[in-house]
Structure 1
Amino acid sequence: MASPTSLKITNRSAKKPIKKLPTSIDVTDKTTVQDVKVLLAKQAGGMDPERLGLFDAEKKKLLKDRRAIVSQLQDVMAGKEILVKDLGPQITWTTVFIIEYLGPILIHLITPLLLRPYIYSSAPPLTTSQYLSMAMVILHFLKREYETLFVHRFSLATMPAFNIFKNSAHYWVLSGFNIAYWVYAPNSYTTLEGSIINYINAAGLVLFVFGELSNLHTHKTLSNLRSPGGTERGIPKGYGFGLVTCPNYLFELIAWAGITLVTKSASTALFDVVAWWQMNQWAIKKERALRTEFPDKYKKKKYVLLPSPGAVIKYITG
């Protein structure tokens, strides 16, 4: 084992410095980023280690990989310094997702089954389309809760606690209150009946089932790239990944296209557009990250989220 290396410790924020922060720390060839956070938190008076954000002094980049060996981080070792910032109260990603997805589940249960007489001037019995809309939205978010607990493996342990309000607003408001109010109304398009409506609902259900099962499959593929509790990254391959960078997002949009057909509501279409915009931004960043991290191994994708019809046909036919 090599002799320990002393690294300078500096408060990144001069306006909000961390009191009792040591001026230096010794690291060995086995010291991880998480080890440093735990030691600094203890010396700073027993802080929550997850509140500490560590940055290299060269590029001022956050050291996200908590299992990375500090002595192998070139930007840290070049400057022989680590910048430390208090990120504020933290909350686990699992908790965040559970709360985010719980909102739409409760809203789409309570609104049609209990609140309709109090919201609308009249509340006739729910139609087949309304029951189906309710079931599809709830099943979608129940699946997400399942994935949060049993499938996803997060590289970051926590996020700022305050962000939970911003993150939850997207689901509670747009996919919860926004869709529920219009879809379960007595004058909505979901009250229409007839053979054409049945065909539209059937098409929507097929898209929904295909999208949800395909999305689950790609999430499991992504999860298998990382060991339990690990932070390593890999190149995803297999079903859908030869077509676009993020087929999990593509399949989610397909599932929501199915929900949109059944709900027949502009409120669902609004959620689709916002979701597409956000997922497209994430997909662009993911493509860029894969090209940067695996320049020799990663096969560049022309489409990050939505492929052309020709690309889909070529992918299916091989």
Structure 2
Amino acid sequence: MQLQTKSIYVHIGKKIPKLPADASVYLQGSGSILYQQIASKSGFPVHRLRITKADDGKLVPNDVRVSIDSTGLRAGDVIQVKDLGPQIAWRTVFIIEYGGPLLIHPLFYLLRPYIYSHAPAQPSTLQTLSCVLITLHFLKRELETMFVHRFSNATMPASNIFKNSAHYWILSGLLIAYFTYSPTSITAGPSNPAITYPALALYAIGELGNLNAHLVLRSLRSPGGTERGVPKGLGFDWVTCPNYLFETLAWLSILLVNQSWTTAVFIVVAVGQMAIWAKKKESRYRKELGTKYKKKRFAMLPGVW
């Protein structure tokens, strides 16, 4: 049986001039087929479109695993097609975001004599360690973005790239780098092995634990899929998002090394944002996974949040 629909355009930004007046797909067909059909006829990229049911505003997912029939659409129903505006792939966004500090820290480290007056020819041990730890952190993030992460949504509004990048390029990039590699910074002084060595151990725990959490999450989702499974393993019995927990530990170790107020500022902002995301993820797990999911008391930090 086929679904015959009538489509109407809901004005968001520019109109869709070639939007077809109707669409015809099999009820057993997937939502992605409907998206592809409308995208082909309208000449718009498929990820720039959002289709909802006109009667209740319910989203019709662009998903090969969701049938038209399961969305409640029936012959003669009206669908709404929205133009979401220019889009950019999430993977591209992450690569650009993390690329900022990945370039900024080595540049500040290498160009110290040209950036600061009276800077010693050789950087201190703590400045070298800070550069290595931060660079490795963002290099790991870039590699995870390219080879590990699987995204729920293919794209995001292209305009958001500036807001998202500012967090990394300015806070974890320029702000931390400028004060960390300065000849007047505390990192320009001698290191304290009683602090530095435990910090390095904490860094290794944080980065490896974070990587493990990402690998677990990757294993729950098929390539190109958006399904959610029940995550298990190191940290997942403690909190909803151990990846955020271990991320926090890694940055606390960097703070112990450079002891900079700028690193503390970045940690406060980053941890605050991750805490919000962790609470939302716990809510999604409870809603979508039901009894299969063991509810967590703490979303991110054991005994705290």
TM range (shorter): over 0.9
Alignment of 1:179-258 (within 5 A): 179-194=176-191, 197-258=192-253
Partners of 1:294 and 1:248 in 2: how far apart? 20
| 1:101 maps onto 2:101 in alignment | no
Shift of 1:120: 1.7
Equivalent of 1:36, from 31, 34, 37?
34
Alignment of 1:111-190 (within 5 A): 111-114=108-111, 116-124=112-120, 125-190=122-187
Shift of 1:258: 0.5
- The 3 A distance-change label for structure 1 pair 121 and 75 is farther
Partners of 1:244 and 1:223 in 2: how far apart? 18
| Structure 1: unaligned runs, 5 residues or longer | 312-318
Shift of 1:75: 5.1
Equivalent of 1:7, from 5, 16, 20?
5
RMSD: 2.0
- 2:202 partner letter: L
Equivalenced residue count is: 304
| Secondary structure in 2 matching 1:296 | helix
TM-score normalised to structure 2 length: 0.93
- The 3 A distance-change label for structure 1 pair 274 and 75 is farther
Contact 1:57-1:76 at 8 Å conserved across structures: no
| 1:55 maps onto 2:52 in alignment | yes
- The percent of aligned pairs where both chains have the same amino acid is 51
Shift of 1:71: 1.9
- Range with greater deviation from structure 2 (34-43 or 98-107): 34-43
Contact 2:2-2:24 at 8 Å conserved across structures: yes
- 1:283 partner letter: A
Partners of 1:192 and 1:162 in 2: how far apart? 42
| Structure 2: unaligned runs, 5 residues or longer | none
Partners of 1:9 and 1:187 in 2: how far apart? 64
Q: List per-residue Cα deviations over 1:225-267 (Å, max 9, x = no partner).
A: 0111222111111211111010100000000100110111010
> 1:315 corresponds to which residue?
none
| Secondary structure in 2 matching 1:270 | helix
Q: List per-residue Cα deviations over 1:284-317 (Å, max 9, x = no partner).
A: 11011111112222111100011118x9xxxxxx
Shift of 1:80: 2.9
TM-score normalised to structure 1 length: 0.90
Shift of 1:277: 0.9
- The 3 A distance-change label for structure 1 pair 144 and 79 is farther
Contact 2:7-2:20 at 8 Å conserved across structures: yes
- The 3 A distance-change label for structure 1 pair 127 and 59 is farther
| Secondary structure in 1 matching 2:68 | helix
- The 3 A distance-change label for structure 1 pair 213 and 14 is closer
Q: List per-residue Cα deviations over 1:77-103 (Å, max 9, x = no partner).
A: 599332211111111111111111111
